[in-house]
Amino acid sequence: MTVKDILDAIQSKDATSADYAALPLPDSYRAITVHKDETEMFAGLETRDKDPRKSIHLDEVPVPELGPGEALVAVMASSVNYNSVWTSIFEPLSTFGFLERYGKVSELTRRHDLPYHIIGSDLAGVVLRTGPGVNAWKPGDEVVAHCLSVELESSDGHNDTMLDPEQRIWGFETNFGGLAEVALVKSNQLMPKPAHLSWEEAAAPGLVNSTAYRQLVSRNGAQMKQGDNVLIWGASGGLGSYATQFALAGGANPICVVSSDQKADICRSMGAEAIIDRNAEGYRFWKDENTQDPKEWKRFGKRIRELTGGEDVDIVFEHPGRETFGASVYVTRKGGTIVTCASTSGYNHEYDNRYLWMSLKRIIGSHFANYREAWEANRLIAKGKIHPTLSKVYSLQDTGQAAYDVHRNLHQGKVGVLCLAPEEGLGVRDEEMRAKHIDAINRFRNV
């Protein structure tokens, strides 16, 4: 039995749940990994010089044992997230530390502590097997998976699953991730695959869409409302391309920051009008490695006021971190919110606290999304209210190059990866709905 037999069943389009259940599992499958004995390979190099193409491998690995509450999924497509870039350059930490720690939780979690880490935090595919106690899903179901893995044994996470003390990001802090032909997930991660999308389109939004939803829309984030001015860094990138859509769909006014004409055009085509090209306008928020330049914050703020008719921003959608955070705090209006989920350019932020407390601003930390938020974010994709921002698709063996593109900011929106899917464009079930949204679905393609 090989993964090829699984693919045949999926491509037949009419295999029943019983057919899938009768398919024997393969012994092994192809997966994108990093190796524990290579975590020091980039020692001494600058972050930008650490090359994911050198650390990312395509290996044949055994199928993991299936536990209670879990599902094995045949992965048709996945996507590259920045967390896979972090994993592949072993920054800020090697992810093997996460796997070792998870391995100590129980007999079952010990499976995750291996000398290789199968990475990837998105998937679209078909359920192959479910473990004991799983009733909501069955073999043959077409699904996407969100990346929140929780144990839920502590009451801390019972209101907001992100607050579980054993909260982990699947495929980053757990093993058996989505950049592979088969993945292991907790069944609570599964959600229906949007029927109007192909496998690679369906796999693209998951992580970033859910994160942007919590960060911007949810009551756990900035609670954006109609008319809000929302400053969005990296507005055509992974997170930003969804934040821009949420702002537009929610009646807010996105002020999109990008770094090229091409990216400005994409934001315009989404419907944004206020766009700042940070490259063309040459903002230098840091005079040198240790000193910021408040005059540049002010110049940036003036530009925002020009674009908004004199208003400051209600919300800053932050993730670049050290390079932009001082400016983000400065340009926020009195009583406004800076909501941050990352620190791509450095995690030791500096800002002038007088502008925070005297103007009663708040900083909110946000991370991925709870079960419900991830479900709501996926529902918006399924209803055609928010669209995938897939630009380019790579084969599984070229994942290293895909991660390199994201690391070096050479990409737009999201970069997809075909896992079992032999070509792009497969898996669409609702052609009528697709036709209605086809321009939006293709907006980021090949730009």
Ligand X SMILES: NC(=O)C1=CN([C@@H]2O[C@H](COP(=O)(O)OP(=O)(O)OC[C@H]3O[C@@H](n4cnc5c(N)ncnc54)[C@H](OP(=O)(O)O)[C@@H]3O)[C@@H](O)[C@H]2O)C=CC1
Instruction: Say how far apart CA 98 and CA 254 lie, in whole Å.
Output: 36
What are the CA-CA distances from residue 322 to residues 221, 286, 315, 319, 328 (Å)?
Answer: 20, 10, 18, 9, 10
> Is 368 among the residues that bind ligand A1D88 (CB under 6 A)?
yes
Does the protein bind ligand X through residue 416 (CB under 6 A)?
Answer: no
**Rounded CA gap, 26 and 29, in Å?**
7
Q: Is 64 helix (H, G, I), strand (E, B) or coil?
A: coil
221 binds ligand X (CB under 6 A): no
From edge to edge, which strands make up the β-sheet containing 253-258? 274-277, 253-258, 229-232, 313-318, 332-340, 362-365
Q: Which of residues 396-415 bind ligand X (CB under 6 A)?
A: 406, 409
Nearer to ligand A1D88, 141 or 166 (CB): 166
Residue 324 binds ligand X, judged by CB under 6 A? yes
Question: What is the closest distance, in whole angstroms, from the C-beta atom of residue 285 to ligand X in the complex?
Answer: 9
Nearer Cβ to ligand A1D88 (84/391): 84
Closest to ligand X by CB, 16 vs 262, is: 262
Other CB atoms closer than 10 Å to residue 212's CB: what's the count? Answer: 31
For residue 208, the minimal CB distance to ligand A1D88 (Å) is: 8
Calculate the dihedral angle through the C-alpha atoms of 180, 160, 347, 94, rounding to the nearest 10 degrees.
-40
- Helix intervals (H) in 312-360: 325-331, 353-357
CB 319 within 8 A of CB 341: yes
Of the candidate residues 342, 377, 382, 386, the single one contacting ligand X (CB under 6 A)? 342
Q: Using CB atoms within 10 A of its CB, is residue 115 exposed (0-12), middle (13-18) or buried (19+)? A: exposed
Q: Quote the CA–CA distance of 384 and 41 in Å, as a whole number.
A: 44
Residue 93 site contact among ligand A1D88, ligand X, none (CB < 5 to 8 Å, cut-off depends on kind): ligand A1D88
CA distance 316 to 280: 21
Which CB sits closer to ligand X, 231 or 406? 406
Can residue 242 be called a binding residue for ligand A1D88 (CB under 6 A)?
A: no
> Which CB atom, from 184 or from 275, has the smaller least distance to ligand X?
275
Member of 33, 55, 78, 83 binding ligand X (CB under 6 A): 83
Q: Is 196 in the site for ligand X (CB under 6 A)?
A: no
- Is residue 149 near ligand A1D88 by the rule CB under 6 A? no
Q: Is 143 in the site for ligand A1D88 (CB under 6 A)?
A: no
Count CA atoms within 13 Å of residue 323 on its CB side. Answer: 11
Helix residue ranges, H only, 124-251: 199-203, 206-212, 238-249
Given the rule CB under 6 A, which of 69-77, 129-137, 254-262, 382-390 is the region that contacts ligand X?
254-262
| DSSP secondary structure letter of residue 158 | S
Q: Does 92 bind ligand A1D88 (CB under 6 A)?
A: yes
29 is a contact residue toward ligand A1D88 (CB under 6 A): no
341 binds ligand X (CB under 6 A): yes
Q: How far apart are CA 215 and CA 316, in angstroms?
A: 10
Q: Which of 320, 326, 388, 400 binds ligand X (CB under 6 A)?
A: 320
| Tokens matching residue 382 | 């399924």
Of 92 and 335, which CB lies nearer to ligand A1D88 in the complex structure? 92
Cβ distance to ligand X smaller for residue 48 or 110: 48
Tell me: does residue 208 bind ligand X (CB under 6 A): yes
Out of ligand A1D88, ligand X, none, what residue 178 binds, judged by CB under 5 to 8 A for its kind, is none
Residues that bind ligand X (CB under 6 A): 81-83, 86, 207-208, 211, 233-234, 236-240, 257-259, 263, 278, 319-320, 323-324, 341-342, 344-345, 367-368, 406, 409
